Structure 1
């Protein structure tokens, strides 16, 4: 769990973790230099809880992504489940995660649906997958081994709903700065995007089609369902200056290049060759879109090439993106 000025909600989340039907073997909490009483709540919980609690207090603020990097690095268990400070775990969460991972040894990561709730944990009438438009066809595709293809098109894994085998720590750490971004239309791609791309490139992914957490929406949260999801923008922590649409493509290319470099450095070519090829295909597509000529007549050959290679279909919004590149620039 990572915390930062979360005194308003962190106690409820801690209580929900303590109430799991399958208790965690350890609870690692990294606080990012909170100044609102969060640290006192954490100390009080750790001293009274029957759970093994390991507290780490950062002497200075790292930001959300680097704080999660720190917390992941401190974990000693076989499976790591990520937790935000302001959500609420349903009692069977860890039991369902353990069941999903123990029943399929080739699965490296699992994620679930979530109930979207208000600040007082009242349901808002929408589940997370419904909001993200992660429908049954895509769920079936993930179960069939195509998680990486889907995640390369758009990130549908929210970190607060995911768990993964700790053997992937060497692959995912450290998390590069490219995955700590803020975009000007409010969407985000941070540590969850990095983790899910790398793990899905090298292992199976399981989905649990039931809510295992209450995903709280409130004014002070960094990330939430109020931010529109999608493949063409992001919001986040460390690079604080908002990125404009004009340099969005450059930022996403940097992210994909970072994934490619980590895979080629850490994973045997025989395992990651397919994923690397797909990464290079999307990078080429983004470069083509980023460098469209000013005159429409000169754009047409490039747009047609991307249409014929199906890259608009795989990596953008299909015909709509092609028309946008051809007519609206």
Structure 2
């Protein structure tokens, strides 16, 4: 394979002793080893540091380990790891997953074959805390359809991402040239934030193969989508935070438009998404008063472009 890239892994840890050794071992067993592994620890009080230092002595690649003097929180700690990376490609890594041996090699190959791809992501096997398979793939839980995968391949990631999130950070790597675009990270919404900004200003590439075991346990920060997670919530509490997130994304894109150009059509789509989210967040608590506003969005086809059509329309009327 020509044009070999330099590859960094950004791993943020906090009290990770339970699963970290398995993840580190899976990185060391890659068929294409990284050029460096950056680990930033958020002042853990367990054996995380001991595990990392022991691994660094025997790792067949450079391991750089930094420990925060005080807790920064998961977002700032992860951001710190990304900032320190020197590679052309930055792989995002969680402390509790396991990477399959060909993960780095296949993703590097995709970056080389597709120079227009700012980021590459993959499918994953969903497993329990003991690594027993749940019998499902991550993309299926996201309802990431074959047609949407083809749109991603055709460099139309934005139309997919505005409808729903399909990218998990633990399966993603991105070109370091986009680091200034995605950092600083917002306090929530990290994976979708990175995918949205890079997918808006370049292309994404999706590998339809599970390349990690995505571990689910009681301490997951995000994990797979769960049914009923919005049960009992008002429209304002569900969609209001999304308005804030998309406003922040729009602001970042406008601020850095000279370095990371965005087409008028894509900016229009983001503006329309904001109109839609504002309308949904403003739906009254009284169900009988929602119909007129929701119908306006339905007629404008925004329920079909940015949600699941009539199913989402009915849900907004009945929730």
TM-score, normalised to structure 2's length? 0.89
Deviations 1:1-60 (A, max 9, x none): 111111011011101101111110110011111111111111111122221011111122
Aligned to 1:239: none
Structure 2 residue aligned with 1:292, among 283, 286, 298?
A: 283
The question of whether the paired residues in 1 share the 8 Å contact of 2:201 and 2:261 is answered with no
- Taking the aligned partners of 1:244 and 1:9, their CA distance within structure 2 comes to 37
Matches within 5 A, 1:298-313: 299-313=290-304
Aligned to 1:186: none
Is 1:267 paired with 2:267?
A: no
- Taking the aligned partners of 2:250 and 2:76, their CA distance within structure 1 comes to 20
Aligned to 1:90: 100
- Taking the aligned partners of 2:287 and 2:137, their CA distance within structure 1 comes to 42
- Compared with structure 1, are the counterparts of its residues 86 and 324 closer, same or farther at alpha carbon in structure 2 (3 Å cutoff)? closer
- Compared with structure 1, are the counterparts of its residues 95 and 320 closer, same or farther at alpha carbon in structure 2 (3 Å cutoff)? same
Aligned to 1:283: 274
Aligned to 1:247: 237
Deviations 1:182-219 (A, max 9, x none): xxxxxxxx211110000000111111111111111222
Aligned to 1:195: 194
Is 1:14 paired with 2:4?
A: no
Secondary structure at the counterpart of residue 65 of structure 2: strand
Aligned to 1:51: 61
The question of whether the paired residues in 1 share the 8 Å contact of 2:235 and 2:316 is answered with no
Secondary structure at the counterpart of residue 168 of structure 1: helix
Secondary structure at the counterpart of residue 119 of structure 1: coil
The question of whether the paired residues in 2 share the 8 Å contact of 1:2 and 1:67 is answered with yes
The question of whether the paired residues in 2 share the 8 Å contact of 1:263 and 1:272 is answered with no
Tell me the number of residue pairs that the alignment of Structure 1 and Structure 2 aligns.
306
Aligned to 2:76: 66
The question of whether the paired residues in 1 share the 8 Å contact of 2:12 and 2:94 is answered with yes
Unpaired segments ≥5 residues, structure 1: 181-189, 234-242
- Compared with structure 1, are the counterparts of its residues 217 and 301 closer, same or farther at alpha carbon in structure 2 (3 Å cutoff)? closer
- Taking the aligned partners of 2:280 and 2:100, their CA distance within structure 1 comes to 43
- Taking the aligned partners of 1:198 and 1:42, their CA distance within structure 2 comes to 32
Matches within 5 A, 1:1-329: 1-177=11-187, 180=188, 190-225=189-224, 227-228=225-226, 246-268=236-258, 271-293=262-284, 299-326=290-317, 328=318
The question of whether the paired residues in 1 share the 8 Å contact of 2:235 and 2:280 is answered with no
- Compared with structure 1, are the counterparts of its residues 277 and 50 closer, same or farther at alpha carbon in structure 2 (3 Å cutoff)? same
The question of whether the paired residues in 2 share the 8 Å contact of 1:2 and 1:30 is answered with yes
Unpaired segments ≥5 residues, structure 2: 1-10
Instruction: Tell me by how many angstroms 1:298 deviates.
Output: 5.7
Secondary structure at the counterpart of residue 86 of structure 1: coil
Moved more, 71-80 or 280-289: 280-289
- Taking the aligned partners of 1:169 and 1:154, their CA distance within structure 2 comes to 23
